[in-house]
Amino acid sequence: MRTDYETNNLIGHGEDVAFEILKNITHLKYRTLKQFPVFDGIYRQIPIQWIITQSEFDTLSQPHKNGSIDIFIKLNQRKVAVRIQGKGHGEGLKALGKVQHDKIQKDILNKYCEVVDVNYNECKELFKDRLTEKSTKELVTSFLTARVSIPTA
Protein backbone atom coordinates (compact mmCIF):
# COMPACT_ATOMS: atom_id res chain seq x y z
CA MET A 1 0.00 0.00 0.00
CA ARG A 2 1.18 3.49 -0.81
CA THR A 3 -0.16 7.03 -1.03
CA ASP A 4 -1.03 8.57 -4.41
CA TYR A 5 1.07 11.70 -4.93
CA GLU A 6 -1.72 13.58 -6.72
CA THR A 7 -4.65 12.91 -4.38
CA ASN A 8 -3.09 11.61 -1.14
CA ASN A 9 -5.50 8.65 -1.43
CA LEU A 10 -4.27 5.22 -0.45
CA ILE A 11 -3.38 2.93 -3.34
CA GLY A 12 -4.06 -0.67 -2.36
CA HIS A 13 -2.65 -3.94 -3.58
CA GLY A 14 -3.39 -4.70 -7.20
CA GLU A 15 -4.15 -1.16 -8.29
CA ASP A 16 -0.72 -0.29 -9.72
CA VAL A 17 -0.56 -3.60 -11.62
CA ALA A 18 -4.11 -3.20 -12.97
CA PHE A 19 -3.25 0.33 -14.09
CA GLU A 20 -0.11 -0.83 -15.94
CA ILE A 21 -1.96 -3.72 -17.60
CA LEU A 22 -4.76 -1.43 -18.75
CA LYS A 23 -2.31 1.15 -20.06
CA ASN A 24 -0.67 -1.58 -22.14
CA ILE A 25 -3.93 -3.08 -23.42
CA THR A 26 -5.77 0.17 -24.16
CA HIS A 27 -2.78 2.06 -25.60
CA LEU A 28 -4.16 5.13 -23.83
CA LYS A 29 -2.01 7.76 -22.17
CA TYR A 30 -1.97 8.28 -18.44
CA ARG A 31 -3.72 11.54 -17.67
CA THR A 32 -3.54 13.69 -14.55
CA LEU A 33 -6.58 14.84 -12.64
CA LYS A 34 -6.05 18.34 -14.05
CA GLN A 35 -6.70 16.91 -17.54
CA PHE A 36 -10.05 15.29 -16.61
CA PRO A 37 -12.44 15.14 -18.46
CA VAL A 38 -10.98 17.05 -21.41
CA PHE A 39 -8.68 14.35 -22.76
CA ASP A 40 -9.18 10.69 -23.59
CA GLY A 41 -6.95 8.54 -21.46
CA ILE A 42 -6.57 6.49 -18.34
CA TYR A 43 -6.97 8.26 -15.02
CA ARG A 44 -6.41 7.35 -11.38
CA GLN A 45 -8.36 8.25 -8.25
CA ILE A 46 -11.14 10.24 -9.91
CA PRO A 47 -13.49 11.72 -7.29
CA ILE A 48 -17.01 10.33 -7.68
CA GLN A 49 -18.28 13.93 -7.73
CA TRP A 50 -16.61 14.41 -11.12
CA ILE A 51 -18.51 11.50 -12.67
CA ILE A 52 -22.07 11.91 -11.42
CA THR A 53 -24.43 14.88 -11.50
CA GLN A 54 -24.30 17.46 -8.72
CA SER A 55 -27.92 16.75 -7.77
CA GLU A 56 -27.13 13.04 -7.36
CA PHE A 57 -23.94 13.86 -5.45
CA ASP A 58 -25.89 16.09 -3.05
CA THR A 59 -28.05 13.11 -1.99
CA LEU A 60 -25.08 10.92 -0.99
CA SER A 61 -23.87 10.21 2.51
CA GLN A 62 -20.46 11.61 3.47
CA PRO A 63 -18.59 8.29 3.02
CA HIS A 64 -19.93 8.10 -0.55
CA LYS A 65 -19.07 11.75 -1.20
CA ASN A 66 -15.50 11.01 -0.14
CA GLY A 67 -15.26 8.11 -2.59
CA SER A 68 -13.05 7.95 -5.65
CA ILE A 69 -12.73 5.61 -8.59
CA ASP A 70 -9.45 3.69 -8.62
CA ILE A 71 -9.01 3.66 -12.40
CA PHE A 72 -11.14 5.52 -14.92
CA ILE A 73 -10.90 5.06 -18.68
CA LYS A 74 -12.26 7.71 -21.03
CA LEU A 75 -12.22 7.13 -24.77
CA ASN A 76 -14.50 9.21 -26.98
CA GLN A 77 -17.96 8.79 -25.46
CA ARG A 78 -17.07 5.64 -23.50
CA LYS A 79 -16.39 5.85 -19.81
CA VAL A 80 -15.33 2.85 -17.73
CA ALA A 81 -14.86 2.88 -13.96
CA VAL A 82 -12.54 0.14 -12.69
CA ARG A 83 -12.88 -0.57 -8.99
CA ILE A 84 -10.10 -2.58 -7.36
CA GLN A 85 -11.93 -4.58 -4.69
CA GLY A 86 -9.29 -5.91 -2.30
CA LYS A 87 -9.66 -8.07 0.78
CA GLY A 88 -11.79 -5.54 2.68
CA HIS A 89 -14.62 -5.85 0.16
CA GLY A 90 -17.00 -8.67 0.95
CA GLU A 91 -15.27 -10.82 3.55
CA GLY A 92 -16.69 -11.45 7.01
CA LEU A 93 -19.03 -9.52 9.26
CA LYS A 94 -16.80 -6.44 9.44
CA ALA A 95 -17.05 -6.06 5.69
CA LEU A 96 -20.86 -6.17 5.50
CA GLY A 97 -21.01 -2.37 5.69
CA LYS A 98 -18.37 -2.12 2.95
CA VAL A 99 -20.36 -4.53 0.77
CA GLN A 100 -23.45 -2.32 1.08
CA HIS A 101 -21.35 0.80 0.41
CA ASP A 102 -19.85 -0.81 -2.72
CA LYS A 103 -23.27 -1.87 -4.01
CA ILE A 104 -24.71 1.62 -3.62
CA GLN A 105 -21.67 3.16 -5.32
CA LYS A 106 -21.88 0.68 -8.21
CA ASP A 107 -25.62 1.32 -8.71
CA ILE A 108 -24.97 5.07 -8.89
CA LEU A 109 -21.96 4.74 -11.22
CA ASN A 110 -23.88 2.46 -13.60
CA LYS A 111 -26.09 5.43 -14.48
CA TYR A 112 -23.07 7.34 -15.83
CA CYS A 113 -20.50 4.81 -17.00
CA GLU A 114 -19.67 1.14 -17.34
CA VAL A 115 -18.33 -0.45 -14.16
CA VAL A 116 -15.81 -3.26 -13.75
CA ASP A 117 -15.03 -4.74 -10.35
CA VAL A 118 -11.65 -6.43 -9.99
CA ASN A 119 -12.25 -8.76 -7.04
CA TYR A 120 -9.57 -10.20 -4.78
CA ASN A 121 -11.03 -13.70 -4.85
CA GLU A 122 -10.90 -13.82 -8.65
CA CYS A 123 -7.55 -12.07 -9.19
CA LYS A 124 -5.09 -13.51 -6.67
CA GLU A 125 -2.02 -12.99 -8.90
CA LEU A 126 -2.92 -9.38 -9.59
CA PHE A 127 -3.36 -8.69 -5.88
CA LYS A 128 0.16 -10.01 -5.27
CA ASP A 129 1.23 -6.95 -7.28
CA ARG A 130 2.72 -9.09 -10.02
CA LEU A 131 2.67 -7.95 -13.62
CA THR A 132 2.45 -11.35 -15.31
CA GLU A 133 0.52 -13.10 -18.03
CA LYS A 134 -1.68 -14.65 -15.34
CA SER A 135 -2.52 -11.29 -13.72
CA THR A 136 -3.30 -9.89 -17.18
CA LYS A 137 -5.69 -12.80 -17.83
CA GLU A 138 -7.34 -12.23 -14.45
CA LEU A 139 -7.96 -8.57 -15.26
CA VAL A 140 -9.31 -9.35 -18.73
CA THR A 141 -11.62 -11.92 -17.13
CA SER A 142 -12.94 -9.22 -14.78
CA PHE A 143 -13.96 -7.20 -17.83
CA LEU A 144 -15.58 -10.26 -19.41
CA THR A 145 -17.47 -11.01 -16.19
CA ALA A 146 -18.77 -7.43 -16.13
CA ARG A 147 -19.68 -7.71 -19.82
CA VAL A 148 -17.56 -4.67 -20.60
CA SER A 149 -15.19 -4.62 -23.55
CA ILE A 150 -11.81 -3.07 -22.88
CA PRO A 151 -11.59 0.24 -24.76
CA THR A 152 -8.57 0.49 -27.08
CA ALA A 153 -7.16 3.53 -28.86
Q: What does the pLDDT read at residue 153?
A: 87
Query: Do the domain assignments include residue 32?
Result: yes
pLDDT band at 63 (very low <50, low <70, confident <90, very high): confident
**What are the pLDDT digits (tens) for 34-46?**
999 999 999 999 9
pLDDT band at 9 (very low <50, low <70, confident <90, very high): confident
How far apart are the C-alpha atoms of 109 and 48, rounded to whole Å? Answer: 8
Q: What does the pLDDT read at residue 126?
A: 96
Query: In CATH, what number is assigned to the domain containing residue 124?
Result: 3.40.1350
Query: Do the domain assignments include residue 48?
Result: yes
The share of the chain scoring above pLDDT 90, in percent, equals 71
Query: Do the domain assignments include residue 148?
Result: no
Query: Do the domain assignments include residue 68?
Result: yes
Q: What does the pLDDT read at residue 12?
A: 78
**Total count of domains within the chain:** 1
Query: Do the domain assignments include residue 152?
Result: no
Residue 60 has pLDDT above 80, yes or no: yes
Domain with 80, as residue range(s), is 2-143
Mean pLDDT of the chain: 89
- Residue range 73-77: mean pLDDT, rounded: 96
Query: Do the domain assignments include residue 151?
Result: no
